[in-house]
Amino acid sequence: MRARPRLYFIRHGETDWNAEGRLQGQHDIPINEKGRVQAGEAGRRLAALRPDLGALPWLVSPMGRTRETAELGRGAVGLDPAGYTVDERLKEISFGLWEGYTWKEVRKAEPAMARLREQDKWNFVPPDGESYGMLMERVRPWLDSLTEETVAVSHGGVARAVMRLVTGMSAAEAASADIWQGKVLVFEAGAYRWV
């Protein structure tokens, strides 16, 4: 298997739904003021790692929250805010009918299904949604297509899928890993680190 190129991964900045603990999935919720600050911070952290940032391709989820994060991050370091490419495969996991609810609300409304999810977060499929395993299979061809160092601006679920694909970490570890906003997740040589 060929070595994968280094990948710089940025999760979108905070949204009001993030702050409220609501499942966003594929609902297009904009980033809030804190999220805009985080986007600029992620851009500056990335520039400190890679001063020639403008030479790298930037691939971005089609969601508004990721596009705005990319634009603010690029603008914060003097790059053309629009200098990125949208890739549909980087779209967030779908939580289906559960989107818009908090986990507390899901547990109250559908306790049996919530318990099933807790038993196997990676493979559980919410009503009309997708599992992390399904998301990973959607992301795999994108990751395999990368031929050079790349910046990706995407979502927490996508980060978890990439963690499994790059590092081989267990499904349980990936499903519960913290995915930070305002930082850069660097994947390199079969490992990852936060900057």
Asked if residues 4 and 163 have their Cβ atoms less than 8 Å apart, the reply is no
Q: Which residue reads 């980087």 in tokens?
A: 90
Where does residue 27 rank: exposed (0-12), middle (13-18), buried (19+ CB within 10 A)? middle
12 annotated active-site? yes
Asked if residues 92 and 154 have their Cβ atoms less than 8 Å apart, the reply is yes
Least Cα distance to 156 among 1, 40, 24 occurs for 24
Length reported for the chain: 195
Q: CB 81: neighbour CB atoms within 10 A?
A: 14
Catalytic one of 41, 71, 92, 99 = 92
Least Cα distance to 149 among 81, 75, 60, 53 occurs for 53
Q: Which residues are catalytic?
A: 12, 92
